[in-house]
Amino acid sequence: MMIKNNRANEIFAGSKDKNILIIGDIMMDEYLSGNVSRISPEAPVPVVEIARETVRFGGAANVALNIKSLGCEPLLIGLLGKDQMGENFTNLMQKSHLNTSGLVYSSQRPTTVKTRIIGDGQHIARVDKENKSNASLEEAEQLKHKIREIIAQADGVILQDYNKGVLTKEIITFTIEQCNQKRILVSVDPKFTNFMAYKNTTIFKPNVIEAQQAVARNFETEEEVEAAGFELMQKLNTESILLTRGKKGLSLFEKNKPVVHIPTQARKVADVSGAGDTVISTMTAACLGGATKQEAAILANIAAGVVVEEIGIVPIDKNKLLSTIES
């Protein structure tokens, strides 16, 4: 199951400058890195002397960065707190030449921040600052206003759900209805809480754990995987499902077509964080560039293999992706 370099170039040339609207949970990933030379006298924990502080886009913002790296134009809608990290996020968006018109600022919740403490190259702890409650009525109205305002510019939409409160059932239904009315491709990277609310979409990308929870059973064999995939397709009335299966790669389900199983492409896995963001971004961009869903899934699989070789959450580099594809 292959795709040639010239075909991949043709697809990405077709998706160049397409506007892709990403709606979902925005996060900041903060890394505090340093050296450990002693144990704290206050508790049996290491003391990390911080030498470097870095921040990166996380959550839906990482999807926006992937979309930008693939040559498309991301339009991001999500919630930030009226706090220092929200201001830092906006500044980082501007420095990265990303459109900030879809950002909604709330005094009711903080900006979601995942702080990772790293000592002597080892991950010691993670500290999360977040509010996972659903968007308030006021926040939801502001989000819907942004969606109405921006969706007219979009060639495709990605709903990126991390269960942090932006994608409520109301926002999900509202957005998908808008997309279907305007015949806009809509892709979904779901979480379990509102899993079954994502009906009538173009591409639905759960991981295997989420899919097992949704059908209320485990599956191991290829036959069990295929039965579950088609069951979900029927329940969700989606055009396609791209099931991510970790070391077993991807499985693509389409109506009236046989399942396509795509094995992993990673040569050396360093960090799987952010691989799902890369898969949904590449799949969506490739489909907008004229790829079949099978071609798009193959490219998404290769892209995931590239990013997991890097430490930390990083977007796909299109040139590096293309260089790994045989001519």
Sequence-distant (6+) residues with CB within 8 A of 191 are: 161, 162, 163, 210
Is 155 designated active site?
A: no
Per the structure block, which two tokens stand in for 26? 């925005």
Compute CA distances 122 → 58, 187, 275, whole Å.
Answer: 20, 35, 21
Q: 25, 29, 161, 277: which is the annotated catalytic residue? A: 277
Alpha carbons 289 and 71: distance in angstroms, whole number:
11
Beta-bridge partner residues of 113:
28, 129
Compute CA distances 133 → 138, 166, 213, whole Å.
Answer: 14, 9, 21
The helix (run of H) or strand (run of E) holding residue 145 is helix 137-150
Q: Exposed/middle/buried for 326, CB within 10 Å: 0-12, 13-18, 19+?
A: exposed
Asked if 263 and 249 count as a contact pair (C-beta separation under 8 A), the reply is yes
For 285, phi then psi, to 5°, come to -60, -45
Q: Coil, strand, or helix at residue 292? A: coil
Asked if 114 and 138 count as a contact pair (C-beta separation under 8 A), the reply is no
Per the structure block, which two tokens stand in for 209? 């754990």
Alpha carbons 29 and 88: distance in angstroms, whole number:
12
Alpha carbons 287 and 290: distance in angstroms, whole number:
5
Task: Point out the residues that are catalytic.
Answer: 277
